[in-house]
Amino acid sequence: MKRMICTTVTILALAAPVLAMDHGKMGDMDHGKTGAMDHSKMGDMDHSEHQGEMIRETTVDGYQLAYHLIDNMAAMAKMDDMKGHDMSKMKSNHLMLYIVDGSGKAVAEGKVGYKVTGPDGKDQQTMAMAMRSGMSAGFGADVDFKAKGTYTIKTKAVAGETKLMDEFTYEVK
């Protein structure tokens, strides 16, 4: 477990410049089975320090939630010191959740858990770790999206006394 956590932190630290993405072109992104995002319901969340591909942004009980997906395999393949390592047991992706409260402040402390149901009906349950990068705070965990098909992602986040529940689908093509 410690090795997996260290690997995840290493990926995020070393691959940040590679994984940063221009969200100014969000209209062209494929957002999976949920269809195009409703930009009229989006707040002013700053994604400049968020890593990976944004796959969902929504508002739950006055909190803005933004999900970003990092391709662990692609990040590892670009690191010279990781070439030749067996990555078959590594989870394919890192799912990040960024939360902003009603006053526009990033939520840096709390608990986040994911339940991901794959196209085969099997569940993955994982608790996310709080992570900081510059001024950005988020919660991330490794998940497997190796099989093609539709995944259902259920999230429970606890920010202070507030419990936030969210559910959506994501399609791997």
User: Residue 3's pLDDT is what?
Assistant: 52
Local confidence band at 82 (pLDDT 50, 70, 90 cut-offs): low
Three-state DSSP at 12 gives helix
Rg of the Cα atoms in the chain: 15
Residue 131: give the domain boundaries. 2-172
Sign (positive or negative) of CA dihedral 6, 45, 163, 91 = negative
Say if CB 21 and CB 70 are below 8 A apart: no
How many Cβ atoms are within 10 Å of 12's Cβ, its own excluded?
21
Number of domains in the chain: 1
Distances (CA, A) of 95 to 24, 66, 164: 21, 10, 17
Q: Is the pLDDT of residue 1 over 90?
A: no
User: Residue 137's pLDDT is what?
Assistant: 86
Local confidence band at 34 (pLDDT 50, 70, 90 cut-offs): very low
**CATH at 131:** 2.60.40.3340
Strand 53-60 versus strand 63-71 pairing type: antiparallel
Three-state DSSP at 5 gives helix
User: Residue 74's pLDDT is what?
Assistant: 72
Query: Is this structure's pTM higher than 0.85?
Result: no
More confident residue, 105 or 41: 105
Query: Pick from 116, 112, 114: which is nearest to 146 by CA?
Result: 116
Q: Averaged over 131-151, what is the pLDDT?
A: 88
Query: Using one digit for the tens of pLDDT, what is the confidence trace for 7-30?
Result: 444 444 434 433 333 333 333 333
Query: Using one digit for the tens of pLDDT, what is the confidence trace for 90-125?
Result: 778 999 999 999 999 999 999 999 999 999 999 999
Q: pLDDT above 70 covers what percent of the chain?
A: 61
